[in-house]
Amino acid sequence: MTDPHETRLIEALKKVEEHGDVAPPHVHDPKTMVMRHLAIHANLMRWDDERGHYVLTGTGRSRIAARGRDHGAVLRFRKREDRAENITKRKAEES
């Protein structure tokens, strides 16, 4: 089951990359203002003075990426030693 508010927020965050805001500049909708307000207060996006528009934060990017996974998906975490061994094996295979 998908939360419709979460889905709208994720779609709005994806538009930040395209337009620099949760909607194109010509859209003047109260929902847009609410989405922008929620995203800023949840630390999902911030205003970048140098670029002159909103940008996603790391939290916002991870929120979008997490949306692709199923709820309750089990993710396997490997120890650093295991990762180091796999990297060493890959480098040996490439040589």
Sequence ranges of the domains in the chain: 4-94
CB under 8 Å to 55, separation ≥6 — which residues? 16, 20, 45, 46, 47, 48
Q: How far apart are CA 5 and CA 22, in angstroms?
A: 14
- Write the pLDDT tens digit of every residue in 48-61: 999 888 899 998 88
Q: Give the residue-averaged pLDDT of 32-44.
A: 88
- Residue for token pair 């939290």: 59
CB neighbours of residue 47 within 10 Å: 12
CATH topology of domain 4-94: Arc Repressor Mutant, subunit A (1.10.10)
Please give the model's pTM, rounded to 2 decimal places.
0.60
